[in-house]
C-alpha cells in the first residue's frame, strides 16, 4: 500500500500548464527546495533508479523531459507545444519536487509527483470517486490494467493525495528517449495498445 504525504496542491498538469502558458521558468535548484510550510527538502542524490532516464506524461503527451534525469537528480520538463518553456525540479528517491513557477508575479506552490512502478500499488490505492458510482469499479480496474500491458508506464500521485486518481493524467512513462510529442502521441491514450486493450468493447 502507498503511504500518505502531507503536501497538498492542484495537479501538476494544471500548474505546469499555467506556468508554461506564461513561459515561466523555475529557479536553479542548487540542492535546496522548500515545501509549502517553508521546510527545506534536501534529499538530492538518491535517485539512482531514474538517473539517465526520461520521464513524460504518457496519456496526454503535454510534457516530458528533453534531457535525462541528471547525475545530480535534476529534472526539467518541457511543454509539448512550447519546447522553450521549462519547468524545473529534482528527483528524490521516487518523488519529483517541482518548482512552481509564477504568473503575474504570483508564485505557485511547490508541486510533488510520486512515482509508482507496476506492481507497487493495488486497486485499493486507486481513487475513481470522480466518476458515476456504477462506473467506479470498472474504471479503477481499467486503470490498473494499463500497467499490465506496458512495463514502462508509471502511476503517479500528485501532492500527497490519499490515492492515485484513475485518470490517464496520472499515467507517466519512463524511457531512454527524449520527449517528443509526435512519438508520444503514437503511443498515447488514443493510439496505444495499453489503452485499447484495457477498454472493454
pLDDT at res. 108: 59
- Residue 159: DSSP 8-state: T
pLDDT at res. 191: 82
* Band (98; pLDDT cuts 50, 70, 90): confident
Q: Is the pLDDT of residue 18 over 90?
A: no
Q: Is the pLDDT of residue 8 over 80?
A: no
- Asked if 100 contacts 89 with a C-beta cutoff of 8 angstroms, the reply is no
pLDDT at res. 5: 37
Tens digit of each residue's pLDDT (9 = 90 or more) over 162-173: 999 999 999 999
What lies within 8 Å, CB to CB, of 85 at 6+ separation is 19, 20, 23, 24, 25, 78, 79
The tally of CA atoms less than 13 A away on the side-chain side of residue 1 is 6
Q: Is the pLDDT of residue 102 over 80?
A: no
Q: Is the pLDDT of residue 28 over 50?
A: no
pLDDT at res. 185: 84
Q: How far apart are CA 182 and CA 90, in angstroms?
A: 26
pLDDT at res. 158: 92
Tens digit of each residue's pLDDT (9 = 90 or more) over 118-157: 999 999 999 999 999 999 999 999 999 999 999 999 999 9
Count of other CB atoms within 10 angstroms of residue 177: 14
Which segment, 46-50, 79-83, 113-117, 180-184, is predicted with the most confidence on average?
113-117
Tens digit of each residue's pLDDT (9 = 90 or more) over 32-72: 555 555 556 555 558 889 999 999 998 888 889 989 999 88
Amino acid at each position: 500500500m502507498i503511504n500518505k504525504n502531507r503536501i497538498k496542491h492542484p495537479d501538476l498538469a494544471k500548474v505546469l500548464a499555467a506556468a508554461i502558458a506564461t513561459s515561466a521558468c523555475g529557479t536553479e535548484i542548487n540542492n535546496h527546495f522548500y515545501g509549502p510550510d517553508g521546510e527545506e527538502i534536501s534529499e538530492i542524490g538518491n535517485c539512482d533508479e531514474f538517473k539517465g532516464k526520461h520521464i513524460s506524461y504518457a496519456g496526454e503527451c503535454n510534457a516530458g523531459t528533453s534531457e535525462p534525469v541528471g547525475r545530480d537528480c535534476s529534472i526539467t520538463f518541457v511543454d509539448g507545444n512550447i519546447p522553450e518553456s521549462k519547468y524545473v525540479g529534482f528527483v528524490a528517491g521516487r518523488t519529483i519536487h517541482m518548482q512552481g513557477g509564477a504568473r503575474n508575479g504570483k508564485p505557485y506552490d511547490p508541486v510533488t509527483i510520486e512515482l509508482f512502478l507496476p506492481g507497487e500499488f493495488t486497486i485499493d490505492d486507486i481513487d475513481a470517486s470522480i466518476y458515476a458510482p456504477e462506473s467506479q469499479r470498472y474504471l479503477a480496474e481499467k486503470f490498473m490494467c494499463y500497467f499490465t500491458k506496458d512495463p514502462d508506464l508509471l502511476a503517479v500521485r500528485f501532492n500527497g493525495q490519499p490515492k492515485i486518481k484513475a485518470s490517464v493524467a496520472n499515467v507517466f512513462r519512463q524511457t531512454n528517449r527524449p520527449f517528443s510529442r509526435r512519438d508520444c502521441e503514437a503511443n498515447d491514450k488514443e493510439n496505444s495498445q495499453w489503452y485499447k486493450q484495457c477498454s472493454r468493447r
